[in-house]
Amino acid sequence: MKQLITLMVCSLILACQPQQQKEVVTVPDNPFFNTFNEEIDFGSIEANHVTEATTYIQEQTDAAIAKVIDIEEEDRTFDNTMLALDDLHANLDGIASAIYLMSYTHPDSVIRSNALKSNTILSQYTNKVELNEDLYKAVKSFSKSKKAEKLTGYKAKYLKETVEEFERSGFGLSKEDREVLKGINDQISEIGDKFSQNIASYKDFLIVSESDIEGLPEDYKESRKQKDGTYKVDLSYPSYRPFMKYCKSEKARKELYLKYMNRAYPDNIEVLQQLLQKRKEMAELLGYNSYASYVLEDRMAKNPESVWAFEGKLMEDLKSKEISDYQELLDIKKSKTGKSDVINSWESSFYFDKLLKEKYQLDGEEVKQYFSLDDVINGLFTITQTIFDLEYREVESPSVWQKDVRMFEVIKDGKLKGRFYLDLFPRENKYNHAACFGIKSGKMTTRGYQIPTASLVCNFPEPTADKPSLMPHSQVETFFHEFGHVLHQMVTTADLYSQSGTSVSRDFVEAPSQIFENWAWNYEALKLFAKHYETREVIPEALFNKMLAAKNVGSAIAASHQVFFGTYDMTLHDKYDPNGEESTTDVLKRVQEETTISPYVEGTHFQTSFGHLNGYGASYYGYLWSKVYAQDMFSVFEQNGVLDKKTGKRYRDIILASGSSKEEIELVKEFLGREPNNDAFLRELGL
């Protein structure tokens, strides 16, 4: 039973295709209910369509559930019970996912507001489905049948995991306690939506004078200059990161840092507390020691102890290099100011940039000249089409929610395999990070394979009057990373929706995206697209070598911050009493000082904008956990060639196409041809 977000899907298609339910009746003139494998008419969506679709999909799902429940016990089969369950979840999430996307991207405030309300309604409705006792009994009854005993492969796996998920949802409880649990889960959904929306809707900015913006590139200044000659710097990534990196005014950097680290404060302090309280209440009702114990039971990690051991070992591995990384920053600061006592959080990016320029002769502004957004898109497309044997075709004049959104079709062996959208530039009230939003997931049906659809939502620099959108190399990495999620969706061949594309364990789902960052660090790949936006000169190998030499400068500091994020998340969900006297800010201060060399800054409340605490509660560790597998798998490309089609097709068919139709660790072993290890991961960090 699949939740959606950013993220957001498979075994080879069987020759004998299963029987499906009859085609459902669609709502007339509602863009969310398109006919089979046609694109959604996003451009025609109105606020009432959201409300109508929300009501109708619940009615439609209720009817599908009733049909499953009404089957006589002796007549139950995989098709009429388990496949029907997969169908109804596919239909429900197909509507809910599109509405979810609109809630964070649509420019119309009324549509956005309706969609946000629908997110909560549909999330609570999903909780209701997962606590439907008659549906559970239907699945449980089938699981005990002789027909079920004969199931193998992905079907047996799906049945086993469905029963387990029902029982994790409370079917070991009394009916009264299940009602209590439903109420708690509904509250968790509502509180979580509020937490995320407070982040998305938060607005603040810094007004600075000409002297306080000294050091910033001219195109940055031009796009933020106001009529009175001052500059308005908002808190989006394209504004914040360059400012902290280049602004010469420490005072201005500190002011912006404090604003950035207090996004959604104070509102989300109380909202987060409520979220943690309800999660703890839910876990204890189900018999778990903590929310983390509940969450990790069906992940690769299996239990909190494995995660604590993973984070603890990594912290030890990083410590020596973290100290030397920090000393490098202290040395460069002393050379500029005569002071070398501490690197404040609003100084780290600034002195890191100085270090790269002066010790490693790397200028981020020079690097940007070789990464115009159009060139990066062309390069990304060329690489993925080559190694995965795919073709992308841009759709002319697509129906989209915002005029600059682009739409592409994915073609494989001459057939349409999927569709994806690119929504790349920041705008008011838009989701302010980078993520792949699933819309429809792949699935075998009697009408053929359901075409997966996804949207890549990013916030890259907009072009100016005289310059194209020029991307820092870190954003090139981000683009490659998120497109890895898109590919995971696009090339799936899983028969079941519940096992297709990114429907894998949460602590593995980042591996297919993290592996793809490596192509942004390979000169053979970069030569295909990294060209100076004016001269069209390919990025010089000498400049690339400087980038490579500087790649692991500060790598242990960066990795230790990932350990901090994961440890803070785990602490809140495994070793913290949200009903006690200690605040989440107290925990933040303590954990940061235990896990990183960077001191906590009094008066900051990072947790209020730590969006992963909603969708990734007790799961943030998965970024580094999955990166171990990502780097190990990339070592095969390093051996065979990063543009090697044979290796690319094996990776596509074994890892990406399979989804969760097999255990993730077995897929990794099959691709590697051996047991996985962390050698490549540590080597990539320069350890």
- Residue 666, Cβ neighbours under 10 Å: how many? 11
Q: How far apart are CA 443 and CA 398, in angstroms?
A: 24
For 8-33, what is the mean pLDDT? 49
- Residue 271 burial (10 A CB sphere; 0-12, 13-18, 19+): buried
Sequence-distant (6+) residues with CB within 8 A of 580 are: none
Return the DSSP state at 237: H
Architecture of domain 42-199 in CATH? Up-down Bundle (1.20)
Q: How far apart are CA 301 and CA 618, in angstroms?
A: 11
- The predicted pLDDT at position 3 comes to 37
Q: How far apart are CA 221 and CA 170, in angstroms?
A: 55
Q: How far apart are CA 121 and CA 529, in angstroms?
A: 45
Sequence-distant (6+) residues with CB within 8 A of 300 are: 505, 507, 508, 625, 664, 665
Cβ atoms of residues 383 and 487 within 8 Å: no
What pLDDT band is residue 226 in, cutting at 50, 70 and 90? very high
Report pTM: 0.82
Nearest residue to 316 via CA among 1, 563, 611, 97:
563
Cβ atoms of residues 518 and 642 within 8 Å: yes
For 290-317, what is the mean pLDDT? 95
Cβ atoms of residues 643 and 383 within 8 Å: yes
Q: What is the pLDDT of residues 554-576, one digit of tens each?
A: 999 999 999 999 999 999 999 99
For 577-586, what is the mean pLDDT? 97
Cβ atoms of residues 556 and 322 within 8 Å: yes
Cβ atoms of residues 539 and 370 within 8 Å: yes
- The predicted pLDDT at position 20 comes to 40
b/e for 304-339, b at 16 or more Cβ within 10 A? Answer: bebbbebbeebbebbeebbeebbebbeebbeeeeee
- The predicted pLDDT at position 27 comes to 62
- How far apart are the two ends of the chain, measured CA to CA in Å? 40
Edge to edge, the sheet with strand 391-394 lists 391-394, 406-412, 415-423, 453-457, 435-440
Listed in order, the ranges of the chain carrying CATH 1.10.1370.10 are 267-285+287-360+554-620
Q: Is the pLDDT of residue 93 over 50?
A: yes
Q: Is the pLDDT of residue 180 over 60?
A: yes
Phi then psi for 595, rounded to 5 degrees? Answer: -105, -20
Q: Is the pLDDT of residue 5 over 60?
A: no
**How many CA atoms does the CB half-sphere of 655 hold within 13 Å?**
29
Return the DSSP state at 225: B
Reduce the DSSP state of residue 450 to 3 states and report it. strand
Q: How far apart are CA 498 and CA 84, in angstroms?
A: 12
Question: In Å, how far are 5, 240, 311, 370, 539 from 366, measured between CA atoms?
Answer: 35, 19, 36, 8, 10
Q: How far apart are CA 669 and CA 653, in angstroms?
A: 14
Q: Which two tokens stand for residue 88?
A: 């109804």
What pLDDT band is residue 479 in, cutting at 50, 70 and 90? very high
Class of domain 267-285+287-360+554-620: mainly alpha
In the chain, count H helices and then E strands. 27, 9
Q: Is the pLDDT of residue 8 over 90?
A: no
Q: How far apart are CA 153 and CA 78, in angstroms?
A: 13
For 218-223, what is the mean pLDDT? 93
For 284-308, what is the mean pLDDT? 95
Q: How far apart are CA 511 and CA 471, in angstroms?
A: 24
Question: In Å, how far are 387, 451, 683 from 442, measured between CA atoms?
Answer: 21, 6, 36
Phi then psi for 459, rounded to 5 degrees? Answer: -140, 65
On average, the pLDDT of the chain sits at: 93
Nearest residue to 263 via CA among 212, 196, 184, 363:
196
Question: How would DSSP label each residue in 125-147?
Answer: HHHHHHT-HHHHHHHHHHHTSHH
Reduce the DSSP state of residue 627 to 3 states and report it. helix
Q: What is the pLDDT of residues 252-286, one digit of tens each?
A: 999 999 999 999 999 999 999 999 999 999 999 99
What pLDDT band is residue 433 in, cutting at 50, 70 and 90? confident
What does R_g of the chain's alpha carbons equal in angstroms? 25
- Residue 382 host element (H or E): helix 373-388
- The predicted pLDDT at position 127 comes to 87
Active site residue ranges: 482
For 41-57, what is the mean pLDDT? 97
In total, the chain counts a number of residues equal to 687
Q: Which two tokens stand for residue 665?
A: 């660790």
Q: Is the pLDDT of residue 644 over 60?
A: yes
Cβ atoms of residues 303 and 293 within 8 Å: yes
Q: Is the pLDDT of residue 7 over 60?
A: no
Place of tokens 């969310």: 32
What pLDDT band is residue 472 in, cutting at 50, 70 and 90? very high
What pLDDT band is residue 432 in, cutting at 50, 70 and 90? confident
